[in-house]
Structures are given as structure tokens and as C-alpha cells.
Amino acid sequence: MKTNQILIRYGELSTKGRNRKAFISRLRNNIQTLFAGTPTLRIKAERDRMFLFCDDEQGMEDIVSRLPYVFGIQSFSPVTQTSLELDDMKHTALAIVSKMDTKDKSFKVSVKRPNKEFPYEKPEIMRTIGGYVLGNTPELTVAMRNPDIDLSVEIRQDAAYMMAETIQGAAGLPIGAGGRALLMLSGGIDSPVAGYHMLKRGVRLELIHFFSPPFTTERAKEKVLDLAEKLSGFGSPVTLHIIPFTEIQQEVHKQVPDNITMTSTRRMMMRIADAVRAKTDAKAIITGESLGQVASQTLESLQAINAVTNTPILRPLIAQDKLEIIETAQAIGTYDISIRPYEDCCTIFTPANPKTKPKTDKVEHYESFVSFDEMIDRAVAEREIIEFPRNKQQHFEDLL
């Protein structure tokens, strides 16, 4: 027997009507790109499901371990191929079930028989295979409706195909189906989670980070690089734009009253983000803001920040509380990176009493005493651009 196939179920893609073909094609392209290093991979996409074929055992293990993080897949099942001999089917069925948790579980065998020349009818196949598995797995019980383990057997012309394990996928839509947007990545807990949610809706990400040396350190920057690396692990490469922000941040604190420096700083970030967005052909800006979490995330503050651009601002965390956000960060593997104790530019120069209800016209008035345009253009022009995933081997060689 050999496990050389995977059956993929689409989930939300199945609701796309006449556009379904385009979404399936996008998912197929993403899988091909993600597993480009597996030359034996072949993909067969059908209207309601997709099959992956891989004759390389190591390649198959790699696919099974990474497929749960590919958006657009509701669930998938490894498929084991065996001969058309009933004895082979019995032993293969037992081998598949033996790898699963069978304690206090119910079980059934389902059979499809498209090979009408096969000499045994469905009931006989079910009795033979089911009886053998139950005889060797006494803790299992039979349940014809909603069993915990449903061993599916399909008799085709060339072989018999079996599957019992259903692995949950990442769901959502294939990355790229929702266009491109720019994520403001701070290094904290929230913004990577916001990026994850937008990836799940099929949005391809550009990332922007504001770096203020010597007030922020290389270790803080490395934390952001690690977060970008993590976000690139969901089936699509990302590009990080690192903005030199020290000059602008110091000028804001020199010219603007202390209690509205946070609002003004966010407005400058948004103006720079909008300029980078235009250069990358992104259609929106994504932030990790959650309503009421900090002083800059009140409705009045968000209104003042939004006033610098007409670009759509997407805030996928706006109605989530901190515990929900932390739970997601832990689930996607960004939490332990985000809590490293290194500062970011949003936490330096923090005023003691920031204004929670800033007036947009007053903020604009104080900013009008300084021409920020040249500084913004310079910051955008001098940005550092890094592609992810990084070539780890090359990265380590560069450090030697």
C-alpha cells in the first residue's frame, strides 16, 4: 500500500457560483508555488474537489504538514492506494485505522464501486473490511450515522483507494483572490493578527514598519523581520518596507503639543503608508487597531488619523477584545515573537496624558507650522525593502 494522494475539499469556494473556476485556479496556483520544490507533485482540480498526487514519500509528508496553513482549503484527507485483492484491502484498512485514536470511538465503512467489473458487491465489501477492522480493534463500536471514524473505500479500475482521516484546513479564500493591501506592522501582538485575518480573506500583503534608531534597536527590527517571516508562511511571499522614521518623529515632538503628539505621529505614519501603498499598487491599508484599546484608538482619534487619506483603511480587529487577539496570535505562532521585550517607535515619546478626543482641525493647525512633505518623501525614498520568506542559508552566511 502507499499513500500518494490527497483529497482537498473547498468549503467557501463552493459558494462562488460562476466565479468558482477563478477561485479554484488561484488555489491551484498557490499550491504549485508553495510546493515548487516537490517536482513529483501533480494537481487535478475538479469543480467540487481537488486531488494532489505525489510519488515522493518525503514530499508527501511535507505537503501534509504544510497544507493546513493554505487558505481556501476547508479540509483534506490523505488517500491510501492498495490492490484490488480483498485481503490487501482488509490489511490496509486496519493499518489506516491503527494510526488513529480509536478509544471510545465509533466506526463505519463506506464503499463506492465505480468499477462495475469488480466481483464483489458493496455489502460484501463493507462486511469483509469492517469485520476485519472491528475484530482487531475491540474498542471500536459500529455507528451507521455520524461515526467518529468513517473509512471510505473507492473501488476503481486500477486499484482500491481508502481514506479515514479528515484534517482541517485554514478555510477562507485563496491568497490573491482579494487583491493586495499594505499592512502597518508594528512588532506588537495586534498587527500580525490583523494581517492573518486579511490573508484569510484572500488579500496579498505588503508590509510597512517604522524604525526610529537609535531609540529603537536592531533587536526590535529583527523581531519585525521574524513576524514578516511568519506571515509569509501562509502560502504567499510578502514584501517588507522599513521606513526611517526618526527625523519625522522628533520633529512632531518638537512642534506639536505633547498631548496630541500620538495622534500627529499616527497621521504621519498613515501619510507615509499611503505613499508606499501607491508605489506597490495596493488598494487599501490594514491596521491592527481595536476600538478603545489605547488612546489613539478612540473614534475621535481614528477620525483624525483617517483625515490624511481617502484610501480605504481596513481594521479587522476593531471589534475584538485583547484576549481574543492574543488567542489568535498564539494559534498562528506570532505571540511569542511579539512579546519579546524590545521597544517599537509607537512606545517611545509616549505622552503622559494623550488626548483621547483630538479635534482634527486643531491637529492640522499645529502640523501646519512645519513642512512635513519633504521629510515624508525622503523617508519613502530611503526605505529598506526586504522580501520574505528569506533565504535562511544565505542569511546565516551573511552574518559570518
Task: Report the distance separating Cα 15 and Cα 151, nearest Å.
Answer: 27
DSSP state of 214: T
Task: Report the distance separating Cα 111 and Cα 127, nearest Å.
Answer: 11
Paired strand residues for 154: 112, 161
Question: From residue 189, how far is each of 257, 287, 303, 326 by CA, in Å?
Answer: 29, 12, 23, 7
Q: Report which of 244, 243, 234 is spatially closest to residue 208, judged by C-alpha positions.
A: 243
Task: Report the distance separating Cα 155 and Cα 114, nearest Å.
Answer: 6
Task: Report the distance separating Cα 124 and Cα 130, nearest Å.
Answer: 10
- What string of DSSP letters covers 349-388? T--SS--SS--HHHHHHHHTTS--HHHHHHHHHT-EEEEE
Residue 297 annotated as lining a ligand binding site: yes
Residue 169 annotated as lining a ligand binding site: no
Residue 66 annotated as lining a ligand binding site: no
- Would the CA dihedral through 185, 350, 252, 211 be positive or negative? negative
Residue 375 annotated as lining a ligand binding site: no
Residue 185 annotated as lining a ligand binding site: yes
Query: Helix 261-279 and helix 373-381: axis angle, to 10°?
Result: 50
Question: From residue 245, how far is each of 28, 224, 367 by CA, in Å?
Answer: 40, 15, 16
- Annotated binding site for ATP: which residue ranges? 184-185, 209-210, 266, 288, 297
Annotated binding site: which residue ranges? 184-185, 209-210, 266, 288, 297
